[in-house]
Amino acid sequence: MARLEAAGRVIAGTARGIRLQGAGPGVRPLGDRLKEALFATLEPELRGAAFLDLFAGTGAGGVEALSRGSATATFVEANARAFATIERNLQAAHVGGPAARLVRADVVAWLRGVPGGPYDVVLVDPPYDQPALLTAALEALAGPGPGPHRGAIVRAGGVVVAKHASKTVVPAEIGLLRSARERRFGDSALTFYRWAQEAG
């Protein structure tokens, strides 16, 4: 069996330095440079947060969040190999247990069901060659509006981060979610969305 490429390491927190396992072809890891920039921006919002990792892949986003003090992380991933990799990475980083919820499901269908929440921080990282999935996920997140009301997925004051190809044009606004910041790193980009009243 081919050896799986590593998916970088945990940058900070209780699991700092732990190497994460990759999930094989077709799953783009959240690389260390991008992860460092992402979590440096999110750091003030992570302590005690409910983190949602959509299209979770190797689980690197949610593992990093738990390592840095998030109260919970929910991982949603449809691919069987990637799902098993998330389980292994949680064990390796010793951040699993009741704080980690793993859901094997189609992300958009799950969001349109009963996803729980509201979540404080949401990372959306679909395959780069399927930008329609990103738009569909953002629409599902924005649809119920800001929490804490029943059915809300993202709380008022929460943040949604879309990871996508730099060449992909993402919507400036979807429902009441507005693009508040964008950062580019080679062929990857991060777009940060907040609710309209907070995006300015």
**Terminal alpha carbon distance of the chain:** 51
- Alpha helices of the chain — where are they, by DSSP H? 32-46, 60-67, 80-93, 107-111, 131-142, 196-199
With a pLDDT cut of 70, the percent of the chain lying above it is 93
Q: Considering the chain, what percentage of its residues have pLDDT values greater than 90?
A: 80
- Cα separation, 111 vs 93, whole angstroms: 27
**pTM of the prediction?**
0.93
The residue ranking higher by pLDDT, 9 or 198, is 9
pLDDT digits (tens, 9 = 90+) for 31-56: 778 899 999 999 999 999 999 999 99
**Distance separating alpha carbons of residues 47 and 120, to the nearest angstrom:** 10
Rounded to whole angstroms, how far apart are CA atoms 117 and 102? 14
User: Pick the residue with more confidence: 96 or 170?
Assistant: 170
